[in-house]
Amino acid sequence: MKRKWIYSLLWLAILLAGQSHPVTAQTEDYAIHVRKDFGYGWGGDIQGRFTISLIGDDTQVSLVAFLIDDKVFTEVNEAPFRAQFQTEDYEAGTHELSARVELDDGTTRLTPVIQYRFLDPDVAMKQVRTILLWLGGGTVAVMGVVALVQALIANRQKPQRHDPMVPRKYGPLGGSICPKCGRPFPRHIWGLNLLIGKLDRCENCGKWALVKRATEEELREAEAAERKAWETDLQSAKAEPERSDKLDDTRYLDEI
């Protein structure tokens, strides 16, 4: 009987000791996520305003303390557990971000540490310019290669002849008016898009030109002009034999 009392007291002491000392542990149950709100972010380099938030089951979370370099910069006691921070509020350089999660049962969890390099605004701007320069140069180079390949393929194709009396269909990309021959043609998916227009090849004359998408009214006007020119050429072709016959008749009259 005495032993039972001793065992009971020891078991109670163990339970009380476990409840009176919260456990602090680094676990994968919780982690943090950093999202850019306004500023610059490339890999581990960030500058501007960001939001740090807790990832994991927050139903048993009573408080989250967000830390930068093991120092609490804010505490959140209700979901969603997130907070904003400005990189300008800290010295430029590498910083460690983490969170201390306090649960309803009194235990505490630490999230894994994430490292970021806070940049000075001037340094961030220089990096942005460098990235844009590389992206712009790479884009121009790719566009140049694509345009060259397209030109080589298109130049081997013969210009297509379209009957002006048949209504034209321009497809989902619409149509353009060739500045070389003045005739309308459908825009091609392989045309090279530039800032001021699209470098495309006219199906009528086979020449390349920088064109814009024409409106429906402009296309119809171009079609009408195309039909009128075709009718004029047709009438001229019909009148040519009559003029030849008259010239032949005058030749015989001269001989008389």
More confident residue, 150 or 123: 123
| Third-level CATH fold of 24-119 | Immunoglobulin-like (2.60.40)
Reported as a pLDDT band with limits 50, 70 and 90, residue 17 is very low
For residue 197, pLDDT beyond 60: yes
What is the percent of the chain with per-residue pLDDT over 70, rounded to a whole number?
A: 69
Domain boundaries, the chain: 24-119, 175-255
Hey, which residues does 72 pair with through a beta bridge?
Answer: 67
pLDDT of residue 121: 79
Query: What integer is the mean pLDDT of 52-81?
Result: 94
pLDDT of residue 226: 86
For the chain, the average pLDDT equals 78
pLDDT of residue 243: 58
The total number of residues shown for the chain amounts to 256
Q: Hey, which of 98-102, 221-225, 229-233 has the most confident mean pLDDT?
A: 98-102
Pairing of strands 93-103, 114-118: antiparallel
Reported as a pLDDT band with limits 50, 70 and 90, residue 57 is very high
How far is residue 146 from each of residues 150, 151, 159, 189, measured CA to CA in Å? Answer: 6, 8, 21, 12
Q: In what order do the strands lie in the sheet with 197-201?
A: 192-194, 197-201, 208-211
Query: What integer is the mean pLDDT of 16-38?
Result: 63
- Identity at 36, one-letter amino acid code: K
Hey, which residues does 210 pair with through a beta bridge?
Answer: 199
pLDDT of residue 163: 67
Cβ–Cβ < 8 Å for 96, 114: yes
For residue 65, pLDDT beyond 70: yes
Cβ–Cβ < 8 Å for 175, 214: yes
More confident residue, 204 or 107: 107
pLDDT in tens, 155-194: 565 666 666 667 778 888 899 999 998 899 999 887 878 7
Of 198, 192, 193, the C-alpha closest to 210 is 198
Reported as a pLDDT band with limits 50, 70 and 90, residue 5 is very low
Reported as a pLDDT band with limits 50, 70 and 90, residue 89 is very high
Tokens of residue 165, six digits: 């009396």
